[in-house]
Amino acid sequence: MSIQFAVWGANIAGGFLRAAVDQDRDGSLAYNVQLAQLAEQMEFNAMLFPVRYIGGIGGGDAASGQLDPLTITAALAAVTRKIHLISAVLPGFIHPVTLAKMGATLDHISSGRWHVNLVSGWFQEEQEMFGIPWIPHEDRYRRSEEYLEVLKGLWTHDTFTYRGKYYDIQEGRIRPFPYQKPYPSIYQGGNSPEARSMAARLSDWYFLNGAPLTQLREQISQVKELAAAQGRTIRFAVNGFALARETEAEAQREYETIVEHADLSAIRQFQERAKGAKGMWSNAVSVSDFVANNEGFRTGLVGSFDQVSEKIAGLQEAGVDKVLLAFRFPLEEMKPFRERVMTRFLGNNSEGGCRIPSSHGRGSSRSDERREATRTAAQSKG
């Protein structure tokens, strides 16, 4: 099967780079309509809409705020036909019965294109601000497990009873059932033992933060083994910030400029806010690791179009099924990315392989070496 391509939705204003550089920062509905329709035209498989109640991703507090990831998918479902729409949800803010009803409705509105990304939560300030008790990491994942058990139960049973630590359902009924059978795919991130165990048992897709191939292979291998022990299979998606340009030198200069203009105050603010995370960002040590959202530069999608294609082929060989991409200027960059990179993978053959350029393995190693030097320099800067 061919590797799939997804793009981040822009429902949170501010962009995806913590740096004082030009980037698309628009988080309006009008911008997201443009983004979704273009992504669909360019054959991106899906869009992921992140969830935040305060702050932003690409900087400190996004002045324009955040559009709700559930509501915006309803709007975008009406102006698209094929692209899948993934809404991130924090369990503490929305009861699973409410999401079961909203999710089933969104799935019907979109004719089977809606999915949920359950985010167990790492932002203590955000939750306590709104009166949601902050519970330990292990308990947050136990709550998430119960959340998914309730969600699946309501979506697949005529009546459903459940008694857990966090949720108590007595002969609950949700109608209509979701459009997709047995239910919309469930996405989940995280990198702790609890996250991996939950993904193996309950989720359909496991989101990975950006990382080098060696680390990705380790995570994929372990979660696959855990899932197999449950008699299940799971698919994998990895985050990456793409700087695909005509030449390696052009991409490298742009990368270095971004790192040189890193917003250190925004990075420190994020590090403080994310200190409750366990596993996520545990291998991020330098400023350059935090400049792009979700360690996006650590995936290494920086270079010429051929080099980025080679990197994605390596991800596919490592077991990645979907690449979730962020761009500086998505409306400008998605079309050339589709023409110069994605066409090597989309429908290439029955096994979803990639036509590897003849320069395979040469230029990308030089780019990696220079980027590592920049990463080291940025670490000392931080």
What 284-288 contacts at long range (C-beta under 8 Å, 24+ apart), as own/partner pairs, is: 285/379, 286/375, 286/376, 286/378, 286/379, 286/382, 287/259, 287/262, 287/378, 287/379, 287/381, 287/382, 288/259, 288/262, 288/371, 288/374, 288/375, 288/378, 288/379
Per-residue pLDDT, 64: 72
Please tell me the predicted confidence (pLDDT) of residue 276. Answer: 62
Q: Is the dihedral of CA 272, 276, 281, 284 positive or negative?
A: positive
Taking the alpha carbons at both ends of the chain, their separation in whole angstroms is 42
- For residue 182, whether the previous peptide bond is cis, meaning omega lies within 30 degrees of 0, is yes
pLDDT at 152: 98
Closest CA to 120 of 158, 73, 166: 166
| Mean pLDDT, 10 residues at a time, the chain of 382 residues | 94 91 95 98 98 73 80 98 98 97 98 97 85 92 97 98 98 97 96 94 97 95 97 97 98 96 81 62 67 92 98 98 98 98 76 35 44 47 44
Name the residue among 340, 218, 328 with its Cα closest to residue 283. Answer: 218
Distance CA 196, CA 189 (A): 9
Q: Which amino acid would we find at residue 185? A: S
| Spatial contact of 77 and 85, defined as CB atoms under 8 Å apart | yes
Provide the pLDDT for residue 22: 95
> Residue 54 is encoded by which pair of tokens?
């305060």
- Strands 46-49, 84-89: parallel, antiparallel or unpaired by DSSP? parallel
Residue 361 confidence (pLDDT) = 36
**List of residues 6+ apart from 370 with CB closer than 8 A:** 252
Which residue, among 14, 3, 19, 5, has the nearest Cα to 265 in the 3D structure? 19
Residue type, 127: Q
**DSSP helix/strand/coil, 167:** coil
**Per-residue confidence (pLDDT) for residue 278, from 0 to 100:** 63
Q: Which of 255, 105, 271 is nearest to 176 (CA)?
A: 105
How far is the CA of 7 from the CAs of 44, 86, 292, in angstroms? 7, 10, 14
Candidates 153, 44, 68, 144; CA nearest to 104 is 153
Please list the helix, strand and coil fractions of the chain in percent, rounded to the nearest 5, in that order.
Answer: 45, 15, 40
Q: How far is CA 314 from the centre of its chain?
A: 19
d(CA 290, CA 262): 9
